[in-house]
């Protein structure tokens, strides 16, 4: 029987790169995959999964109203790959878990675990609860410790510690940091002043 997989990490750990590599591995063996990403993620243009290493390809998009069980997935599908999975609703995670086990379709989700306030994304909390296979993707803080948290930085380079979980169309940037830097007032700016410029 198939599984629901959750691969989580802080920002810029290579989640999209890993997803595109898995898609390539399936397709190299003549198997069909479907790619989804969040509809409101405009970093790469709507419906595009882009790796920071330069790869990019078209993807379907999901919003809060997407019903994965009823999507016209078509015949012969080998795997469903979902980027920005922190934006799934808990109900969608339930649908995907059901697809893995009832429809025998492997579903691999990539996403953030926590937001810039250190709070869970509802989709990630549901994935951590239901996924059959959970794995952390490692990344490194500027101070060389393991990065597990995310810091939001505004257009002026200042850390933002309050606000909405999701900002659409703003000038915010994000940086992956270790918990020690996360709990420092400046979010680890001293460890890597150049990264704010």
Catalytic positions: 84
Q: Residues 103 to 142: which contact Zn ion by CB under 5 A?
A: 141
Q: In what order do the strands lie in the sheet with 133-136?
A: 60-62, 32-38, 77-82, 107-112, 4-9, 133-136
| Binding positions for Zn ion, 163-192, rule CB under 5 A | 178, 181, 188
- CA 83 – CA 105 distance, rounded (Å): 17
Toward Zn ion, which CB reaches closer, 5 or 182? Answer: 182
Write down the H helix ranges in the chain: 15-28, 90-102, 122-130, 179-182
Min dist. Cβ of residue 152 to Zn ion (A):
16
Contact (CB, 8 A) for 134 and 128: yes
Between residue 58 and residue 87, which ones bind Zn ion under the rule CB under 5 A?
Answer: none
By beta-carbon proximity to Zn ion, the closer residue of 50 and 189 is 189
Cβ at position 11, least distance to Zn ion in Å: 13
Radius of gyration, CA atoms only, the chain: 17
Distance CA 179, CA 1 (A): 37
**In the bound complex, what is the minimum distance in angstroms from residue 143's beta carbon to Zn ion?**
3
Choose, by CB under 5 A, the member of 73, 128, 140, 143 that binds Zn ion. Answer: 143
* Contact footprint for Zn ion (CB under 5 A): 141, 143, 145, 178, 181, 188
């Amino acid at each position: 029987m198939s599984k629901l997989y959750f691969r989580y990490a802080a920002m810029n750990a290579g989640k999209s790169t890993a997803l595109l590599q898995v898609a390539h591995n399936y397709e190299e063996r003549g198997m069909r995959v479907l790619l989804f990403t969040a509809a409101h993620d405009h970093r790469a243009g709507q419906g595009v999964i882009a790796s920071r290493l330069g790869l990019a390809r078209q993807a379907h998009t999901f919003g809060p109203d997407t019903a994965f069980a009823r999507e016209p997935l078509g015949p012969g599908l080998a795997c469903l790959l979902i980027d920005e999975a922190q934006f799934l609703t808990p109900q969608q995670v339930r649908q995907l878990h059901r697809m893995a086990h009832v429809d025998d379709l492997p579903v691999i989700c990539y996403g953030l675990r926590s937001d810039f306030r250190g709070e869970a994304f509802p989709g990630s909390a549901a994935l951590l609860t239901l996924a059959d296979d959970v794995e952390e993707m490692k990344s490194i803080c500027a101070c060389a410790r393991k990065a597990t948290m995310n810091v939001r930085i505004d257009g002026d380079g200042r850390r933002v510690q309050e606000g909405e979980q999701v900002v659409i169309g703003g000038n915010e940037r994000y940086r992956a940091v270790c918990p020690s830097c996360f709990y420092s007032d400046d979010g680890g700016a001293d460890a890597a002043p150049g990264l704010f410029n």
